[in-house]
Amino acid sequence: MPLAYRYSEWDGTQAIPGLDADKVLEALSDDIMNFGDLQHALRNLMQRGMRNQQGDRMQGLRDLLQKLRQQRRQRLDQFDLGGVMEDIKRQLEEILQMERDTLNERLNEQGGRQDGAPDGGDQQQQ
């Protein structure tokens, strides 16, 4: 089920879900303890996202990339040029085969005329 988004210029009235410092530190704490690197922990937080004060999930970069990939796949499926190209290729092959058949028929007709009965005015009488 697609979600609808509306984009507009920032005017200060838009509601932004609040970030609680405790929630941010809680989300960072495991990575800081495991790796001892604040920058690494922040990078991981941006990639995976977190939950805000209301318990709503704030998307991370991974989620956004996944959505973009999914939308790209949907667009490619919707406007499948591969099927169109296959159809064009098939039609071109049919045209080429018709031309080949016509050329073969004409060559056979001319070969039959030369080997068979004369068609009239080209032979000299003796």
Q: What is the pLDDT of residue 30?
A: 85
Question: Is residue 6 scored above 50 in pLDDT?
Answer: yes
Does the residue 66 lie in any domain? yes
Q: What tokens does 65 get?
A: 């990339």
Does the residue 108 lie in any domain? yes
Q: Are residues 73 and 56 in the same domain?
A: yes
Neighbours of 77 (CB within 10 A): 8
At residue 107's C-alpha, the angle toward residues 104 and 112, to 5°, is: 125
pLDDT tens digits, one per residue of 20-73: 788 888 888 888 888 888 899 999 988 988 877 777 788 889 999 999 999 999
pLDDT tens digits, one per residue of 68-105: 999 999 988 887 777 788 889 999 999 999 999 999 99
For 85, the domain range is 80-115
For residue 38, give Cα distances in angstroms to 43, 74, 87.
Answer: 9, 38, 56
HSE, side-chain direction, 13 A CA sphere, residue 113: 10
The residue behind tokens 């919707």 is: 78
Q: Are residues 53 and 63 in the same domain?
A: yes
Does the residue 60 lie in any domain? yes
Q: Are residues 74 and 61 in the same domain?
A: yes
